[in-house]
Amino acid sequence: MQPTHAPRRDGIPLRADVDRIDPESQRFYKVRKHLMDPVQCWHLVCPGLPPDPRDEAMRAGCSELCLQKDIYRFELALDACRQHVLGVHDLHFEPAYWRAFDSAVKSGHLAFAFKKNHVAMAAGDEGVFVVLSRERGSVRWRVNTAFRPEPRRQDGPPGRNQSFLNAARRKWLAKTTQPAKARMRMSPTWSDPLAEELGAFLDRIEQESLETLDVHDAARVLVLMARAEQLGSSESLEALLRRGLPHISGLAALAPPEEVKPLLMELAAACQEGDDPYGVLHDVLLDLDDWLAVAVFLEHHGGPLPTTANAAARDHVVRFAATRLALSPEQAAPLADWALARAGSLEPEPSPSSGDPYAPVMALWQAVVRASATAHQVKRPTESLGAHLVRILDAISLTGVIPRDAFASSGIDLGPEPVEIHRWGDAVLELTIGQDLRTPVLQVSGTEGDEAPRGTRDGTPLTFTRDEFQAWLAEARPGLHHVSLRGKTVEFTLTTS
């Protein structure tokens, strides 16, 4: 996929092909959710809009509850409130997203986001990000949403239009880049803009000094270098990476990986909102991708790394994301194609010495795909996770590969995170809670080729089903289990608490 520089290249819509946000309830919701969010600073791009438009809306008859962006209350809002919010859409919001669309066409920042070509994304000159969608078989497009991505540290100081523009274009490049296989890492959509930006930063460092960078610039350089290492096959990127490696310690001292807790809170909120998976949820996943990539990059090259970004912290981030996504598979489902492509772009080159340093990033996107696969069958239980605990009363290795005390042992509670039972090299046997939050599940991942485990429960064969990521699942009902792989067998007993 290439970004388009012409209005209708490869089916990209003309302005005449696109309808505004509809119906009224959606316009009402989008205005409350985005334009009335002070963090997005719409007053910088909408003349006459106050810094906090919620105050004006409350004077017009909107209640504080009605204006909460994560609560949908169109039908319950007073007529005066609805009229005011819809008027704000027509006066401020709609003109802003049309300006963004038009400027994106001119600058080339309008492209399909997914290979099925039913979602397109645009990054406007004012830092406004617009998502378009169309029904299959239709020639008409519709604005799905418009928002201003919150600037991260690598985008610049908050509250400035240039920072919002940097954030929007960074998101656009990440969202519309989708090499489906590792062999496509050379796609110009990935390498050319990245090489140009990274080269400009390195020129600045070499011609002036590292001290000319502020914390935002340094954070962006680290993200770009991590991306360059992931792409790997481009000679130009490899050359840029070699130029940048001597500066890693200085960059990391200036801009170590930022605190990840706010991102996890945003992820949890995005999974619950039930809206805009191409917007908020995709944004925060991409930010977590950047955070994981920088942390791994620094560790891989011996750069200073805070304990908040060490291997244990990265593992926690991936598990937290997987748990939240599993609870909201309908939110993850629209991102499955993109997640598959992103995971494919991270397929490691053979490197016995260094292994696969970017495995945590791949695991993040694999969690999106695994969650999306259950979207059509999930029924939310009313009980809490605490009502569905399973205990491993006994876990005994029959292999002698690792000490018995390395296993889960008596009294281990199974909560939202898997419990490791055994390892065969890079293959792992885990016990976890199924997508229905009720059924205990055995999971074997990290296998090679077509190999699959075999198992029994109280002498009855277990049925294992292969999924896209070399994982095999089976109901883990109480009883005596044997699971074998690579000629080795593990025995353990399960009982409910």
233 and 266 within one domain: no
How confident is residue 209, by pLDDT bands cut at 50, 70 and 90?
confident
Please write the tens of the pLDDT for every residue from 24-34: 988 998 998 89
Whether 222 maps to a domain, the answer reads yes
Widest CA span of the chain, in angstroms?
Answer: 74
Whether residue 182 has pLDDT greater than 80 = no
Q: Is residue 443 part of a domain?
A: yes
Which of 67-81, 166-180, 262-276, 431-445 is the most confident on average?
262-276
In a domain, 438, yes or no: yes
Q: What is the pTM of this model?
A: 0.62
Q: Is residue 171 part of a domain?
A: no
Residue 161, domain member (yes or no) = no
Q: What is the pLDDT of residue 117?
A: 62
Q: What is the dihedral of CA 327, 333, 337, 342, to 10 degrees?
A: -20
Domain that holds residue 443: 385-496
* 201 and 141 housed in the same domain: no
Q: Which residues contact 185 (CB under 8 A, 6 or more apart)?
A: 179, 191, 230, 231, 232, 233, 234, 345
If asked whether residues 248 and 266 sit together in one domain, one would say no
Amino acid occupying residue 335: L
Separation CA 388–CA 163 (nearest Å): 46
User: How many Å apart are CA 304 and CA 302, to the nearest integer?
Assistant: 7
The CA distance from 18 to 13, in Å, is: 7
**Domain endpoint, select from 372, 393, 426:** 372
- Model pLDDT for residues 408-426, shown as the tens digit of each residue: 444 455 655 677 778 887 7
* Overall number of domains in the chain: 4
Domain presence at residue 156: no
- pLDDT at position 91 is 95
The per-residue pLDDT for 401 is: 40
- pLDDT reported for residue 328: 83
Give the Cα separation of 125 and 103 in Å (integer): 6
Q: Nearest Cα to 219, choosing from 291, 132, 307?
A: 291
Please give the pLDDT value at position 387.
43
Describe the strand order of the beta sheet including 427-433 as a list of residue ranges: 419-424, 427-433, 440-445, 472-475, 465-466
How far apart CA 18 and CA 382 sit, in angstroms, is: 42
7-11, 14-18, 216-220, 230-234 — which is least confidently predicted?
A: 7-11
Percent above pLDDT 90 for the chain: 15
Predicted confidence at residue 410, as pLDDT, reads 42
Domain check: are 33 and 86 in the same one?
yes
Looking at the structure, tell me whether residues 228 and 204 fall in a common domain.
Answer: yes
Residues 352 and 326 in one domain: yes
Using CA atoms, how far residue 103 sits from 21, 42, 106, in Å, is: 19, 17, 5
Alpha helices in 301-423 (DSSP H): 311-327, 329-332, 336-345, 359-372
Q: Give the model's pLDDT for residue 277.
A: 55
Distances (CA, A) of 181 to 12, 176, 178, 187, 211: 24, 15, 9, 10, 39
Which of 282, 306, 283 has its CA nearest to residue 294? Answer: 306
15-22: average pLDDT: 90
* pLDDT tens-digit map of 306-347: 888 999 899 999 999 988 888 888 888 878 777 876 776 665
Q: Which long-range contacts (CB under 8 A, 24 or more apart) does 399-404 make?
A: 399/488, 399/489, 399/490, 401/488
Residue 147: which H helix or E strand, with range?
strand 141-147
| pLDDT tens digits along 91-145 | 999 999 999 999 988 888 887 765 456 778 888 999 999 988 887 777 789 998 8
Same domain, 279 and 347: yes
Q: Which residue, chain included where needed, has tokens 């803009």?
A: 193
Note whether 400 and 468 are same-domain residues: yes
pLDDT at 293 over 60: yes
Do 334 and 366 lie in one domain? The reply is yes
- Token pair, residue 175, equals 């969202």
Distance, CA of 173 to CA of 220 (rounded, Å):
14
Domain match, 197 and 290 both: no
Residue found by looking up tokens 């996943």 in the block: 285
Helix or strand holding residue 168 (H, E): helix 161-175
Same domain, 419 and 462: yes
Mean of pLDDT values over 193-201: 82
Query: Do 472 and 397 share a structural domain?
Result: yes
